[in-house]
Amino acid sequence: MMSGTELARAIVDQAAHRAADYEKHTGRKPCLATVIVGDDPASVTYVRMKRNRCHRAGLDSRLVSLPEETTTEQLVAAITELSNDPEVHGILLQHPVPKHVDERAAFEAIAPDKDVDGVTMHSFAQMSFGEAGFTSCTPGGIMRLLDAYDVDPRGKHAVVIGRSPILGKPVAMLLLARDATVTICHSKTENLPDVVRTADIVVAAVGKPEFVRGDWIKPGAVVIDAGYNEGNVGDVAFDEAVGKASLITPVPGGVGPTTIAVLLEQTVDSAQRQLAAL
Amino acid sequence: MMSGTELARAIVDQAAHRAADYEKHTGRKPCLATVIVGDDPASVTYVRMKRNRCHRAGLDSRLVSLPEETTTEQLVAAITELSNDPEVHGILLQHPVPKHVDERAAFEAIAPDKDVDGVTMHSFAQMSFGEAGFTSCTPGGIMRLLDAYDVDPRGKHAVVIGRSPILGKPVAMLLLARDATVTICHSKTENLPDVVRTADIVVAAVGKPEFVRGDWIKPGAVVIDAGYNEGNVGDVAFDEAVGKASLITPVPGGVGPTTIAVLLEQTVDSAQRQLAAL
């Protein structure tokens, strides 16, 4: 069976092929602009990794690196400039931004047709209503994994642990659009282990290392670990859960690589759509 | 305890008071524009009822009645005109529109700051992300009922049956924002009665008369019947469920009246916001 890394490679290979096509027709490469505020080491690493992947796949990348003390207004202005720049096809604002910045306002400055990271309210509503548009990258990657593993969510009980605007909520909506019965759990959920025990599909998106224990997993369930905590540890206690689950994604090498793959793919999508709209 | 009708009256009384204030300051009344396409008798009745409620509460209403054969483009144009008209504070497109019309496109022609019925993708995302904005009226009415009955959703398991864009999905998001653990069920859900039996709060939004049976209800659960079917029948078999539930909303006289009350309230909100923005 295909690993997350292999699936991601297949997605990126296709995107690279289409990027080359795009370049042949236009003389330009699809371009992803990445905005980072401050110098959090993990964020700097992520951004570097994403840019490297862009280049290897034949995409251009533009880096906008802003100081820690950037205000919401300054960040919104920088993103708006990218939204209006015809040479930019996709915009990624690296999460998290410093606490004094209104992240939602910054996300909303991304033009919907360049929201290749799927973070705007517009993209969320599109995912929720089954309209064509960009998916949030990690939720999009999760759906691709399920497809690659022939897991049909229809009629299944999917339990999503976590309700963030770019992971828990959108993946819940994408699973619902594929006809799963969806339960959204979070820090205020009572008897969480019992709720998880009813799940045919578990999506762990909590951000706490090994939070989901093996005895929470119904035998035969599909376990998607979308966590990525310090020390390369997921949200699921893998060693405990692996014997119970019919299928479980590891960390690293599971959801992570597909996230970046979807980002690149959607950047190429955006470039091609822009071309088609001319 | 307050009935839905009494709660609705209290909401409308307050809205009427604020509408009178608005008129005193501006010489104009808050104005709701209602758009109806075709002459479906139930829709005509709803629209007449909503307009009557407007007038009784001291709001203006404007009726745009379009023939059955109206195209999507014509409907979008009519709604866009209302969106751009400074004398209109709220816009309601009566659901459903004829099958040949793209209802989503029509909804999206409503300016977000006049979406007092809470049907646009923008309003949905605002509800989902806890941003200030208009709620869909029935979901908003349901939350008001829960508040009036001192039902705190926090930590409770809420099961929503139905996933429509203006009822099931937004009420799920509003319950989630109030810290309920939320399960969204629908026609593809397996073992629906068993799922409903785990609910502390049941929201029935299916549109099928007496679909939810008494033996699906956990003793002590709160049952909100958002159905409204021919012959004034709800989605819940009331006579069966009333002995099991700690609280159940009847049809008629439960959710229905609060829906219109929230519509009027949000129209006054819109008028006041527009004034504040001048």
The pLDDT tens digits for A179-213 are 999 999 999 999 999 999 999 999 999 999 999 99
> Which residue among B157, B165, B182 places its CB closest to the CB of A129?
B165
CATH of A26-112, one of 3.40.630.10, 3.40.50.300, 3.40.50.10860, 1.20.120.530: 3.40.50.10860
Distance in angstroms (rounded) separating the CA atoms of residues B226 and B209: 11
Burial of A242 (0-12, 13-18, 19+ CB in 10 A): middle
A209-259: per-residue pLDDT in tens? 999 999 999 999 999 999 989 888 999 999 999 999 999 999 999 999 999
Told to judge if B274 belongs to the known catalytic residues of this protein, a careful annotator would answer no
Return the pLDDT at B183: 98
CATH code, residues B12-111: 3.40.50.10860
Smallest CA–CA separation between A179 and chain B, in Å? Answer: 6
User: Which among B129, B156, B195 is the nearest to A165, CB-wise?
Assistant: B129
- Of how many residues is chain B composed? 278
Distance (Å, whole) CA A79 – CA A85: 10
Q: Which residues pair with B91 in a beta bridge?
A: B33
Rg of the Cα trace of chain B? 19
Residue B278: pLDDT band with limits 50, 70, 90: confident
- Name the catalytic one among B94, B126, B266, B272: B94
- If we measure between CA atoms, which residue out of B37, B103, B43, B92 comes closest to residue B68? B37
What is the H or E stretch that residue A129 is in?
helix A121-129
Select from A171, A187, A188 the residue whose CB has the most chain B CBs within 10 Å, as the one to mutate to test that interface. A188
Nearest by CB to B121, from A104, A129, A182: name it: A129
Q: Reply yes or no on whether the pLDDT at A38 is more than 80.
A: yes
pLDDT at B149 over 80: yes
User: What is the structure's pLDDT at B234?
Assistant: 97
Of B125, B157, B185, the CB nearest to A121: B125
Yes or no, beta carbons of B181 and A183 under 8 Å apart: yes
Average pLDDT value for residue range B93-97: 95
- The answer to whether residues A175 and A153 touch, using CB atoms and an 8 Å cutoff, is yes
Where does the pLDDT of residue B241 fall: very low under 50, low under 70, confident under 90, or very high at 90 and above? very high
Buried b (16+ CB within 10 A) or exposed e, A136-149: bbbbbbbbbbbebe
Supply the pLDDT for residue B2.
78
Confidence at residue A2, expressed as pLDDT on a 0 to 100 scale = 78
Predicted confidence (pLDDT) at residue B213 exceeds the cutoff of 90: yes
Q: Which residues pair with A33 in a beta bridge?
A: A62, A91
Write out the residue limits of the CATH 3.40.50.10860 domain(s) in chain A.
Answer: 26-112
Q: At what angle do helices B121-129 and A121-129 cross, to 10 degrees?
A: 110
Residue B176 reports pLDDT greater than 90: yes
What is the full DSSP assignment across A59-89?
A: -EEEEEEE-TT--HHHHHHHHHHHHH-TT--
Mean pLDDT of chain B: 97
Q: State the smallest CA–CA distance between residue A262 and chain B in angstroms.
A: 22
Q: Band of the pLDDT at B82, cuts 50, 70, 90?
A: very high
Set of chain B residues whose Cβ sits within 8 Å of the Cβ of A154? 188
Cis peptide before A96 (omega within 30 of 0): yes
In chain B, ranges of CATH 3.40.50.720 domains:
137-255
Is the predicted pLDDT of residue B49 greater than 90, yes or no? yes
Can you tell me the mean pLDDT for A159-184?
Answer: 98
Pick among 3.40.50.2300, 2.60.40.420, 3.40.50.720, 1.10.1060.10: CATH of A137-256: 3.40.50.720
Q: Indicate the fold that domain B137-255 takes in CATH.
A: Rossmann fold (3.40.50)
pLDDT category, A133, cuts 50, 70, 90?
Answer: very high
Active site annotation includes B114: no
Residue from B123, B128, B175, B201 whose CB has the most chain A CBs within 10 Å, to mutate: B128
The chain A residues in contact with chain B (CB within 8 A) are 104, 121-122, 124-126, 128-129, 131, 154-157, 163, 165, 169, 172-173, 176, 179, 181-186, 188-190, 195, 198
Q: How far is A57 from chain B (nearest CA, A)?
A: 33
Burial B68-106 (b: 16+ CB within 10 A, else e): eebebeebbebbeebbeeeebbbbbbbbebbeebebeeb
A-chain CB neighbours of B172 within 8 Å are: 184
Which residues of chain B form CATH 3.40.50.10860?
Answer: 12-111
**Pairwise CB contact (< 8 Å): B184 & A181:** yes
- Confidence tier at B98 by pLDDT (50, 70, 90): very high
| Residues of B with Cβ-Cβ distance to A190 under 8 angstroms | 155-157, 181
Q: CB–CB of A128 and B129 under 8 A?
A: no
Provide the pairing of β-strand B247-248 with A60-66.
unpaired
Chain A nearest CA to B10, separation (Å): 32
Q: Which residue in B122, B156, B189 is closest to A181 by CB distance?
A: B189
pLDDT at B1 over 80: no
pLDDT recorded at residue B29: 98
CATH 3.40.50.720 segments of chain A: 137-256
Annotated catalytic residues of A are 50, 94, 117
In this predicted structure, the answer to whether residue B210 has a pLDDT above a threshold of 90 is yes
Contact A182 B181 (CB under 8 A): no
Cβ <8 Å between B185 and A181: yes
Q: Which of A122, A131, A155 is nearest residue B189 as measured by Cβ atoms?
A: A155
DSSP alpha helix (H) spans, chain B: 4-26, 41-56, 72-84, 103-108, 121-129, 137-148, 168-177, 192-196, 238-241, 255-276
Q: Is the pLDDT of residue B142 over 80?
A: yes
The alpha carbon of residue A160 is apart from the nearest alpha carbon of chain B, in Å, by 10
**Residue A277: what pLDDT?**
86
Preferred mutation among A104, A131, A152, A184 to probe B, highest tally of B CBs within 10 A = A184
A198 contacts in B (CB within 8 Å)? Answer: 198
CA distance A204 to chain B (A): 15
Residue A1 pLDDT greater than 90, yes or no: no
Start-to-end CA span in chain B (Å): 41
What is the predicted pLDDT for the residue at A148? 96
Minimal-distance CA residue of chain A relative to B196 = A181
B250, B225 Cβ separation under 8 angstroms: yes
